[in-house]
Amino acid sequence: MKLTKLFFAALLGSVLLVSCDDDDNNAINVPLGAYQGGFFVLNEGDSGAGSVTFSTYNYSLLKQDIFGAENDGDGIGGYVQSIFYNNEKAYIISSASNKITVVNRYTFKLIDIIETGFANPRYGVVHDGKAYVTNLNTFADLTDDYLTVIDLADNSVDEPIPVGAIAEKIFVENDKLYVLNGSYGDGNSIKVINPENGTVDTTIALPQSPNSFGIDNGKLYVLTGSSFFDPAPSHIVRISLTNNTVEKDITMPADMIGAQNLNIAEGGIYFSLGNSIYGNAITATTISETPLFATGATTLYGFQILNDAMYVTDAKDYVSDGALFIYTPSGTLLKTLTTGLIPNSVYLN
């Protein structure tokens, strides 16, 4: 959120407080919890334990392992992959532990643990009262991946939806589930699934393995990458979400291999490559080899643009506590924060 918006929001709040009686003031000022008004950093951790770090937006409070702090030192499992929200609840996916830990997103108090129906779960979305969670299942088998279907009324698990090929990142658009079929260079498509009957409506072919995506004005932008064994320049593919057809495929310059973390913001396409951030106009037909700026990361692991700021996570040596670098869009460093082990993503709260 821009500072001007914050200023006028604060000013409006003060006017409302003056004009209300004591009962209204009490109602307005009741906080939802200690973790309202900040952001989470998800720390992947190792096979035994991951964690979540919290910071307020003004960085006045930085707190590590907030789940353990709020739940008598308990953990959320190993290789913590992602979080998704449903109203006041946060669902934390732990791949190595094959479970989802459900907490109140504002207090981080435990609500439930879902431990059935998973085999290396990765990402989840909510649609029409249900959660859909991707499962990579057996790494060596590219035919056994599936979606776990969770009834959010009671967290019971319904019949799974088979995906077949790789089931990785997922999003909902036009009442359909879009599953990126790509992981570490394997897979080269997107499956569009009808959640009503669990069938694949469309398979969108891609030139390489999809690793990240962004949506803007009815268009899906997908960043693809090659495998370690057969390295090749990355691609940016634009797909119409009206008819699920590829409209444009841009091959990056020859030495731009291994691009990751695509973001769409303010009319631009941004991504990371090595430890640098790159940006091009969303209308570009070629990709510039010149980075916007080099980050301070030792091992750039995650990159997101959220509320006019760029968040870069640093896994460092994968055995030490990581770091989060926060930049302006022009590359000015705003803040560096210490995180837990292998920070992979940021979630506003």
Residue 190 clears pLDDT 80, i.e. is over it = yes
pLDDT tens digit string along 57-96?
999 999 999 999 999 999 999 999 999 999 999 999 999 9
**Residue range 20-34: average pLDDT?**
61
Mean pLDDT, the chain, rounded, equals 92
Identify the pLDDT of residue 30.
75
Band (148; pLDDT cuts 50, 70, 90): very high
- Predicted TM-score (pTM) of the model is 0.90
The strands making up 245-251's β-sheet, listed across from edge to edge, are 209-216, 219-225, 235-240, 245-251
What is the percent of the chain where pLDDT is above 90?
A: 87
> What string of DSSP letters covers 270-331?
EEEETTEEEEEETT-SS--SS-SEE-S-SSEEEEEEETTEEEEEE-TTSSSEEEEEEE-TT-
d(CA 76, CA 80): 8
> What string of DSSP letters covers 192-236?
EEETTTTEEEEEEE-SSEEEEEEEETTEEEEEEE--SSS----EE
Identify the pLDDT of residue 23.
45
Amino acid type, 237: V
11-25, 62-76, 167-181, 226-240: segment of lowest average pLDDT: 11-25
